[in-house]
C-alpha cells in the first residue's frame, strides 16, 4: 500500500517501531492481539490497529503539500479536513481557512472566492451541489480533492446498484459530512433514504411490509429521503451502503435484518432479486480498528483510554465498544490527563466533557488498554503513554521500549 509524507510532528518513534515490528511479524494482518508495553508497575496494551488510515494520511499529505507549493495563494478548506482538533488547528496556523463548519453552516461566503483561489475538498467528500457551485466560480475541485478512496468506493457501488433499479439505504448519521456527500451522490442515480441505526431500520421495514401507512414515512424520515420518494414503490428492491466510520457490525446487522424482511415479504422471490449485495463497501481501516478493539478487550484490564477528536464518528464507536466491557475514558490528548487522580474526558452520549476523580485504580501492575481513532496522530498516543508512565517512579523509560521494538 502507498506510503504518504505526513508531517513529522504527527509521527511517534515509539508507535512507529511497534507498528513496524507487528507488520513484519503479521503481514496478512490476521493477529488482532494487542501489543504489551510493560513499564513494570504499569502495563499498557496497545490495540493492534489504530490511528491514521490511508484516507487520512492521503488528505493530510495533499493539504500540507498544497500549502508548500502555493505560498502566494489563498487556500480554503471546504470544512474540517478530518475530525481531529490538533490537525485542523495546524492547518489554520498554516493560513488555511474553513468555508463551512462540520454541519455545513457557511463560515465564509462562496461569493468571496475567486478562480485564483484553491479550495480543498476534505476526506469525507462533499455533495454534488457544492462541487458544481465551486466549479461555477472557476475552482478546479478535482485537483485538490482529498476524498477518501473508500468513501468513493461507496459512491461507485451506490451508482452501480441504482442502475439495476435498487433503492439505496444509507446507514449513517444524517448530519455527518460523509453521509450528506454519499446521499447527494446516491440520489443523483435513484431513490435513497438514510437510517441512523438498527431501530430506524426496523421502522423502515414496517413500510416494506405494509405494517405502517406510507403517509407516515414522510414524517418519520423527514430530511432523510430523496425527492419524490414513494415508500410503496421504492422499497421493493433495496441495497444497504454505509458511512464508512460507522460500526461495521451495526451496518451488517441492518443489512442482515432488511435482507430477511425482503425475503419474507416478497416470497417466493430470491434474495438476489430484492436485495443487493454491498458487503464490499465496508471500510478496511474501520473494520481493522474495530476488530483490534475486540481483540484488545480480551485482556483483563482495569480501564481503557480512547484518543481522538470528540466529533470523530469512528473514534466514538471505538469508545462505545470499550465501554461495554470496562471503564472507558475518551480524550483528545495527554492534556486531558490532569494528574494521577483526575482526568477530563468526553461522554459522546451526552456530548459533554466530564471530570472524573480517582480514575486510576490502586494496585500494581495497573493494566490500561489504549487505542485511537483514524484521524488521531500517533504522536498524541505516545504523549498519553508517556504521561501515564510518568506517574510511576520505577517505570521503565519509554526510550527502552523504543529500543526493544526497534530490534
CATH number at residue 87: 3.40.50.11270
pLDDT (0 to 100) of residue 365: 95
Catalytic, out of 178, 200, 320, 382: 178
Same domain, 47 and 94: no
Let me know if residue 384 belongs to a domain: yes
Q: Residue 80 catalytic?
A: no
Q: How far is 398 from 379, CA to CA, in rounded Å?
A: 13
pLDDT at 247: 86
Sheet holding 97-98, edge to edge: 97-98, 75-77, 118-120
Sign, CA torsion 14/20/22/25? negative
Torsion sign, CA atoms 195, 199, 205, 210: negative
Whether residue 292 sits in one domain with residue 200: no
Q: Measured over all CA atoms, what is the biggest interatomic distance in the chain, rounded to whole angstroms? A: 70
**pLDDT at residue 1 in the model:** 58
What residues contact residue 111 under an 8 Å CB cut-off, 6+ apart? none
Does residue 151 contact residue 170 with C-beta atoms inside 8 Å? no
pLDDT digits (tens, 9 = 90+) for 281-320: 778 888 899 999 999 999 999 999 999 999 998 999 999 9
Given 282, 309, 328, which residue is the final one in a domain?
Answer: 282
Question: Looking at the domain assignment, is residue 155 inside a domain?
Answer: no
C-beta separation of 63 from 146 below 8 A? yes
300 with 313, same domain? yes
The gap from C-alpha 166 to its chain's centroid, in whole angstroms, comes to 26
Q: Tell whether 158 is covered by a domain.
A: no
pLDDT in the model for residue 280: 73
Instruction: Indicate the burial class of 383 (C-beta count within 10 angstroms; 0-12, 13-18, 19 or more).
Output: middle
Q: Which three cell numbers stand for residue 259?
A: 435482507
Is residue 232 located within the same domain as residue 320?
no
What does pLDDT average to in each consecutive run of 10 residues of the chain (407 residues)? 80 94 91 96 97 91 94 93 88 94 91 96 94 94 91 94 95 93 96 97 97 97 97 96 89 94 83 83 85 97 97 93 97 97 97 97 95 95 97 91 83
Please indicate, yes or no, if residue 93 is contained in any of the structural domains.
yes
The domain in which residue 73 lies consists of 54-137
pLDDT at 215 (0 to 100) = 96
Q: What is the pTM of this model?
A: 0.91
Amino acid at each position: 500500500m502507498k506510503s504518504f509524507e505526513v508531517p513529522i510532528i504527527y509521527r511517534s518513534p515509539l508507535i512507529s517501531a511497534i507498528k513496524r515490528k507487528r507488520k513484519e511479524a503479521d503481514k496478512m494482518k490476521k493477529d488482532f492481539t494487542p501489543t504489551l508495553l510493560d513499564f513494570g508497575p504499569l502495563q499498557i496494551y496497545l490495540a493492534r490497529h489504530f490511528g491514521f488510515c490511508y484516507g487520512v494520511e492521503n488528505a493530510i499529505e495533499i493539504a500540507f503539500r498544497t500549502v508548500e507549493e502555493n505560498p502566494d495563494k489563498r487556500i480554503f478548506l471546504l470544512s474540517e479536513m478530518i475530525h481531529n482538533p490538533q490537525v485542523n488547528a495546524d492547518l489554520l496556523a498554516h493560513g488555511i481557512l474553513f468555508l463551512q463548519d462540520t454541519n455545513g453552516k457557511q463560515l465564509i461566503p462562496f461569493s468571496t472566492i475567486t478562480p485564483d483561489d484553491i479550495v480543498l475538498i476534505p476526506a469525507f467528500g462533499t455533495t454534488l451541489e457544492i462541487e458544481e457551485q465551486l466549479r461555477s466560480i472557476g475552482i478546479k475541485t478535482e485537483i485538490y480533492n482529498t476524498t477518501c478512496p473508500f468513501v468513493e468506493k461507496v459512491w461507485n457501488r451506490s451508482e452501480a446498484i441504482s442502475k439495476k433499479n435498487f433503492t439505496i439505504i444509507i446507514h449513517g448519521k444524517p448530519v455527518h459530512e460523509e453521509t450528506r456527500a454519499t446521499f447527494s451522490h446516491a440520489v443523483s442515480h435513484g431513490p435513497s433514504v438514510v437510517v441512523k441505526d438498527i431501530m430506524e431500520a426496523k421502522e423502515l421495514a414496517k413500510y416494506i411490509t405494509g405494517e405502517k401507512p406510507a403517509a407516515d414515512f414522510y414524517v418519520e424520515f423527514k430530511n432523510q429521503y430523496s425527492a419524490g420518494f414513494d415508500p410503496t414503490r421504492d422499497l421493493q428492491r433495496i441495497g444497504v451502503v454505509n458511512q464508512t466510520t460507522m460500526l461495521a457490525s451495526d451496518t451488517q446487522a441492518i443489512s442482515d435484518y432488511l435482507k430477511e424482511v425482503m425475503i419474507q415479504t416478497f416470497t417466493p422471490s430470491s434474495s438476489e432479486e430484492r436485495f443487493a449485495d454491498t458487503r464490499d463497501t465496508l471500510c478496511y481501516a474501520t473494520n481493522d480498528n474495530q476488530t483490534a478493539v475486540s481483540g484488545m478487550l480480551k485482556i483483563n484490564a482495569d480501564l481503557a483510554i480512547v484518543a481522538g477528536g470528540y466529533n470523530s464518528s469512528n473514534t466514538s464507536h471505538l469508545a462505545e465498544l470499550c465501554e461495554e466491557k470496562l471503564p472507558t475514558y475518551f480524550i483528545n490528548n495527554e492534556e486531558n490527563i490532569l494528574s494521577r487522580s483526575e482526568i477530563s474526558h468526553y461522554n459522546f452520549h451526552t456530548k459533554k466533557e466530564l471530570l472524573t476523580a480517582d480514575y486510576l485504580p490502586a494496585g500494581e501492575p495497573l493494566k490500561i488498554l489504549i487505542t485511537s481513532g483514524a484521524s488521531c496522530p500517533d504522536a498524541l498516543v505516545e504523549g498519553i503513554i508517556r504521561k501515564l508512565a510518568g506517574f510511576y517512579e520505577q517505570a521503565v523509560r519509554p526510550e527502552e521500549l523504543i529500543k526493544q521494538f526497534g530490534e
